[in-house]
Amino acid sequence: MAKMVSLTIDGINVEVEEGTSVLKAAKDIGIMIPTLCYLNGVNSFGGCRICVVDAGAKSLLASCTLPAAEGMVIKTNTKEVQEARRMNMELILSNHDRSCLTCDRNGKCELQDTAFQMNVDEIRFDGKDTKHKLDLSSPAMVRDPNKCILCRRCVAACGRVQDIGVIGPTERGFRTIVEPAFKMSLGDVACINCGQCLQACPTGAITIVDDTKKVWDAIADPNKHVVVQTAPAVRAALGEEFGLPIGTCVTGKMATALKRLGFDRVFDTDFAADLTIMEEGTEFIGRLQNNGVLPMITSCSPGWIKFMEHNYHDFLPNMSSCKSPQQMMGSVIKNYYAPKMNIPRENIVSVSVMPCSAKKFEAGRPEFGDDVDVVITTQELGRMIRMAGIDFERLPDSDFDPLLGDSTGAAVIFGVTGGVMEAALRTVYEVLTKETLEQIEFESIRGMEGLKEATVKINDLDVKIAVAHGTANARKLLDSIRSGEKEYHFIEIMACPGGCINGGGQPLVDSEIKLKTNVVKQRAKALYSEDRGKALRKSHENPSVQQVYKDWLGEPGGHKSHEFLHTKYVERDLY
């Protein structure tokens, strides 16, 4: 049992576990000490000095790194503390690019909010005016060092959480800058475009590449037929862009909003998720029955794919050859829907709305051609809805357009870690046993543990499965397989912690809210709830998927499916 210690914070007696930071102890009793560099579970190094408190020492101490001790007396709101915090904030702002009105983070900037909270009404110091070039090399993210406050939250997200470590502080003093080593750009290093850095960033130093103008231009072109698809995780987070509670599922309002924006057809990537299960499940069964390469690893997460291409070349044969649902849908739209509707392929503009910044990179991979023309994120869709003057909360619900908008419950859980595996097992079990799977919810692979494993009995075979989310956990899993310590038949890996619900393109959440609310868990609950509400919950039961096979593809895993729905991956250097 953990040892408990007693201390006093602003006259309130507090008992906490030994080792708890003073910052957390204070927040737990409702004393909100301001922070900038601190991010719960990601970063805590006391660099910004905004969270200083009086602990009776000779100088003020950073509460985020100060462990609570027996008998400690803490004062968080003395005049000296307030003045020190304000001075530290003014020093941070002294050489910050303060073009707030045109900043992508305006209104969602933690630096802006904290300065307001601390009543900073002047900046008494003139910092060194250093101008850095924007890093526009990534298809997913823009890096603006002029707005960086050197909090290192992005560094911790990339290095500690994801175990990638392609950015870090270089130079010293006023010349310090967070960037890839040797002055390289994001596009030159083994960045996987997962966007966890920009989700961690408190300012506009790392932002999503804005592709909304491309979409507006396409919608305005009378010669273009603009089709949109929306990923499963978007519906669990889009409402946050309009002030709805975290975990509110807004599927019907989202479909209505997309129609009002002017898209000619509104389809659901969930359809392609069901299609993915048909192909990936067939591939897995084929490998099981024909001594294929095992374990087979899912290939729906483009950040994970790029991570594997850079770091684990020897696992290339283990990768499922299936395209991701985004790319499958893009292929179906351009190669099935277009001729079916007698629309020339060149007149189709295929847009996807994704929770994932890495999807922008994926759509540009040369092997996928022009199947998906533009990728926007949940953040960008929110921006478009606001620009159009749509009152999102008052929108009525509507449905996706038929055929390519139809889906099952198995598809919607693709957005959460373990969901792809669970969806695959629902189908694989019934195909192999010829029996109805009564208990379709696989609780053993749900939840937010970094690594999960289970054994599922299918006929006479004990199928060993594993699920990992976050590339740091993926690395641990693959290393255990490489060493011979672990053996599995089937593996799901998602690049982002929690899966797509926590993708780099999802709505930004203030660090204070993250401290109080398990954002990933709430969004996951929304997707599981939608799954339970579906009439059909297994991918092979989707009549629209069955129709597309009848009309065009033939059979899962067949020649035509491999031509349009499968791909290959490549080795990449680390630099």
Q: What token pair was written down for 435?
A: 């029996």
Give whole-number Cα distances, 433 to 279, 284, 408, 459, in Å. Answer: 18, 15, 21, 6
DSSP per-residue codes, 250-279: -HHHHHHHHHHHT-SEEEEHHHHHHHHHHH
In contact, 64 and 52? CB cutoff 8 Å = no
Give whole-number Cα distances, 367 to 309, 370, 463, in Å. Answer: 15, 9, 32
At residue 23, the 3 state secondary structure works out as: helix
Give whole-number Cα distances, 515 to 77, 199, 213, 504, 565, in Å. Answer: 21, 14, 35, 19, 41
Has 300 been annotated as catalytic? Answer: yes
In contact, 233 and 527? CB cutoff 8 Å = yes
Q: Which of 249, 500, 541, 561 is catalytic?
A: 500
In contact, 472 and 162? CB cutoff 8 Å = yes
Query: How many Å from the N-terminal Cα to the C-terminal Cα in the chain?
Result: 47
Give whole-number Cα distances, 572 to 118, 189, 418, 566, in Å. Answer: 47, 10, 27, 20
Q: Which of 27, 306, 323, 359 is catalytic?
A: 359
Has 320 been annotated as catalytic? Answer: yes
Q: What token pair was written down for 525?
A: 């609950």
| Strand partners of residue 177 | 170
Q: How would you list the strands of the sheet with 348-354, edge to edge? A: 265-268, 225-230, 348-354, 374-377
| Strand partners of residue 135 | 143
Has 213 been annotated as catalytic? Answer: no
Q: Give the Cα separation of 49 and 51 in Å (integer).
A: 6
Within 124-224, residue ranges assigned H as helices are 153-156, 196-200, 212-220
Has 380 been annotated as catalytic? Answer: no
Report the half-sphere exposure of 153 (CA within 13 A, side-chain side).
26
Q: What token pair was written down for 531?
A: 């799954």
Has 500 been annotated as catalytic? Answer: yes
| Strand partners of residue 39 | 43
Q: Which of 179, 241, 309, 362 is catalytic?
A: 362
Give the phi and the psi of residue 555 in degrees, each rounded to 5: -145, 155
In contact, 266 and 332? CB cutoff 8 Å = no
Is the omega angle on the peptide bond into residue 295 within 30 degrees of 0, that is, cis? yes
Which run of H or E residues covers position 481? helix 471-482
DSSP secondary structure code for residue 159 in this structure = I
Q: Give the Cα separation of 284 and 318 in Å (integer).
A: 11
Q: Which of 110, 241, 279, 280 is catalytic?
A: 280
Q: Measuring CA to CA, which residue among 39, 88, 38 is closest to residue 59?
A: 88
Has 240 been annotated as catalytic? Answer: no
Has 83 been annotated as catalytic? Answer: no
Q: Which of 44, 301, 320, 561 is catalytic?
A: 320
Q: Which of 18, 367, 487, 563 is catalytic?
A: 367
Q: Which of 283, 430, 492, 530 is catalytic?
A: 283
For the chain, what is the radius of gyration of the CA atoms? Answer: 25
DSSP secondary structure code for residue 18 in this structure = T
Has 362 been annotated as catalytic? Answer: yes
Give the residue numbers marked as catalytic: 280, 283, 300, 320, 359, 362, 367, 500
